[in-house]
Amino acid sequence: MKVTEGRRFSKGTAAMSALLLIAALLVVPVADSSAAGEYIVRETPGAGDGPETLVEQLGGEVLEQIGIIGGFAAELPQDAASALEADPLVVAVTPNAGLQLSSNGWDDASMLTGYDVDTYAGSMFDVTQVSGARHFWGAGYTGEGVDIALIDSGVAPVDGLTKPGKVINGPDLSFESQIDELRYMDTFGHGTHLAGIMAGAEDAVGDIDQRTGSQYFVGVAPDARIVSIKVAGATGATDVSQVLAAIDWVVQHRNDDGLNIRVLNLAFGTNGAQDYVLDPLAFAVEQAWNAGIVVVVSAGNDGNSYPLRNPAYDPFVIAVGSAEGRTHASSRTDYVSDFSNCGTSDRSVDIVARGRSLVSHRVPGSAIDVKNPQARVNGNLFLGSGTSQAAAVVSGAAALMIDRRPSLTPDQVKDLLIRFGSNVKRASGYCDDARSLELATLAEEGSSNAVQNHTPSVGTGSLEAARGDAHIELDGMPLVGEQDIFGNTWDGASWSTLSAAGASWSGGEWNGASWSGTSRSGASWSGASWSSNLWTGASWSGASWSSKSWSGASWSRASWSGASWSGASWSGNVWLGLSWQ
């Protein structure tokens, strides 16, 4: 982003990595000013070279300029940090400590106070820059004619996603589907953020030339269309059975009423570890893959030493990890994010894309927005990190590739992404096998005859095993066992037969139950209004389902306001603490 005060980004040493910048934004104030090591120094506006000169006088060394915060990185000897911080030209001195992906230290908004960060294009937060998408735009490919199915928490009609036909609502399979004013709406805030990364384009943005130099937000494939299938409400709660129903719906309706669903983004994953050959989730994503839909799945946010989440562990789909790179705008990545799952020797991540610190659309009043006000950017945008965001980048990239070559199969898309990707520096564990997204090369190349020959899933395994430790709860009672959210018995053999035949949905019924909100496949927003006060004081207590039961607990007309995760599964749970004044 353009910074009207302070210095420019330097393209020098690796010391100024994305990790260094994020650490500068997130760490708490100096606790031990006598400690030696690297520090982030933020200057007052118009400070000139005074602070840098003082660093040298104190026996330190200036390492790199950090223009976006109006400061620099420096190596300081013992006791120098406190002396430097006492200088009137210095706002703050913070240690370049290891980044902790938790809420601790997320509220250090003072790092950007007083700086006019008013231009988006060309910054390290610009998803089109860090993905290389503009190379496709220059050749005339913007994702037009390609639909991306987003199974998530819905999509809100915010600026960038409100043009007629931009977002098509599939069924609302969430626990909010029975509240008219909440149906299809993103009360959580996660789905809208991903939709923007994939295909957003603020209304003020015009043609390709204007997008390239725009100060407004633009996603990777701005002319692609989003087909939203909502499975999670304000708490983020959903069950594997809801996700299975959503995937089945996508496969069966991929070409209905002018739809052309060629990409499926799934930022959902459990730690269920049964063999993918048996697992229902793995079977479902393979059915989408076999139907010609590129399935992009987030790897998970547990850390580099962890296996891929289910269904990313299915070998057919594209498992996406998060990487980060230089602070200046660049599609090159330097290393895998420390929160990103890498996998195992049997199944490792396929590709990594920028997933640290990406700006996209904010949903005013959503759960994530309310809980993380420090992540708001210039009022209408939001800063987030996770393998969800990285998967959204790759989903947008797949839409660009298909726009350029509509005949590409999912196997060929995966092959091209991996084969023309670049090496990842400083990769950890099994991320050594991953490749980094390189759209600059793919905009010119693209020939593939690849066919994957893995053993296909049969889907007859356990629904409970697919959940792992992720269970929805009602009044403290988790949904467990071989039954869906309606309490219906799960028969994997019967379901998999119907799913493979494209007949699991019939007359609005799935697995023997009628689901509300399934008939709006052609609905789209056209100038829908949006109010930041829409959910203020709203009660979720009106949501209820039919008189079924699970585990002996009757829940006829039960409230789903308490539905929550007992094991986190959404892969976009890292919302960076940054407030731009």
Q: Quick check: bond before 311 cis, omega within 30?
A: yes
pLDDT tens per residue across span 513-524:
877 554 333 333
Per-residue model confidence (pLDDT) at position 564: 52
Is residue 526's pLDDT more than 60?
A: no
Segments of the chain assigned to CATH 3.30.70.80: 2-119
Delimit the CATH 3.40.50.200 region(s) of the chain. Answer: 132-442
Mean model confidence pLDDT for the chain: 75
Q: What angle do CA 395, 445, 224 make, to 5 degrees?
A: 30
Q: Which residue has the higher pLDDT, 379 or 241?
A: 241
pLDDT of 96 over the 80 cut: no
Give SS3 for 547. Answer: coil
User: Dmax over Cα atoms in the chain, in whole Å?
Assistant: 77
With a cut of 70, say whether residue 62 has pLDDT above it: yes
The pLDDT of 330-338, averaged and rounded, is 68
pLDDT tier, 115 (very low <50, low <70, confident <90, very high otherwise) = very low
Per mean pLDDT, which range of 97-106, 218-227, 375-384, 387-396 is the poorest?
Answer: 97-106
Least confident of 24-33, 143-152, 244-253, 429-438: 24-33
Write the pLDDT tens digit of every residue in 336-366: 888 899 999 999 999 999 888 788 898 988 8
What DSSP element (H or E) covers 192?
Answer: helix 190-199
Range 302-306 contact pairs with CB under 8 angstroms and sequence separation of 24 or more: 302/271, 302/339, 302/341, 303/338, 303/339, 303/340, 303/341, 304/336, 304/338, 304/340, 304/341, 304/342, 304/428, 304/429, 304/431, 305/342, 305/428, 305/429, 306/341, 306/342
Per-residue confidence (pLDDT) for residue 203, from 0 to 100: 76
| Predicted local confidence at residue 94, as pLDDT | 60
Residue 213 has pLDDT above 50, yes or no: yes
**Residue 190 annotated in active site:** yes
Query: DSSP 3-state assignment of 566?
Result: coil
* Residue 442: DSSP 8-state: H
461 vs 463: CA distance, rounded Å: 7
Q: What is the C-alpha to C-alpha distance for residues 515 and 54, in angstroms, rounded to an integer?
A: 67
Contact 240, 467 (CB under 8 A): yes
- Give pLDDT, residue 379: 79
Active site residue: 33, 135, 190, 496, which one? 190
Q: Write phi, then psi, for 277 (nearest 5 degrees).
A: -60, -25
Q: What mean pLDDT is predicted for residues 572-580?
A: 47
Query: Rounded to 5 degrees, what are φ and ψ at 297?
Result: -125, 135
- Report pLDDT for 98: 29
Q: What is the pLDDT of residues 67-91, one digit of tens each?
A: 434 567 788 887 888 888 889 898 7
CA angle, residues 77, 81, 82, in degrees to nearest 5? 130
For this structure, is 469 an active site residue? Answer: no
CATH of domain 2-119: 3.30.70.80
Which stretch of 23-37, 220-234, 281-295, 514-528 has the lowest confidence by average pLDDT? 23-37
Out of 228, 241, 298, 388, which one is annotated catalytic? Answer: 388
What is the structure's pLDDT at 91?
Answer: 75
Please, are residues 322 and 356 in contact by the beta-carbon 8 Å criterion?
Answer: yes
For the record, the structure tokens of 358 come out as 């990406």
**Mean pLDDT calculated for residue range 394-408:** 97
**Closest by alpha carbon to 31, among 100, 106, 94, 110?**
94
- Reduce the DSSP state of residue 536 to 3 states and report it: coil
Q: For 132-442, which CATH superfamily applies?
A: Peptidase S8/S53 domain (3.40.50.200)
Which range, of 210-219, 229-238, 268-277, averages the lowest pLDDT?
Answer: 210-219
476-507 pLDDT, tens per residue?
678 889 998 888 899 999 999 999 999 999 87
Active site annotation includes 108: no
Burial 194-221 (b: 16+ CB within 10 A, else e): bbbbbbbbbeebeebeebeebebbbbbb
| Catalytic residue (choose from 87, 147, 152, 239) | 152
pLDDT given for residue 516 in this prediction: 57
What pLDDT does residue 144 have?
96
Spatial neighbors of 76 by CB under 8 A, at least 6 apart, are 36, 37, 38, 39, 55, 58, 59, 60, 84, 93
- The DSSP annotation for 290-320 comes to HTTPEEEEE--SS-TTSPPPBTTTSSSSEEE
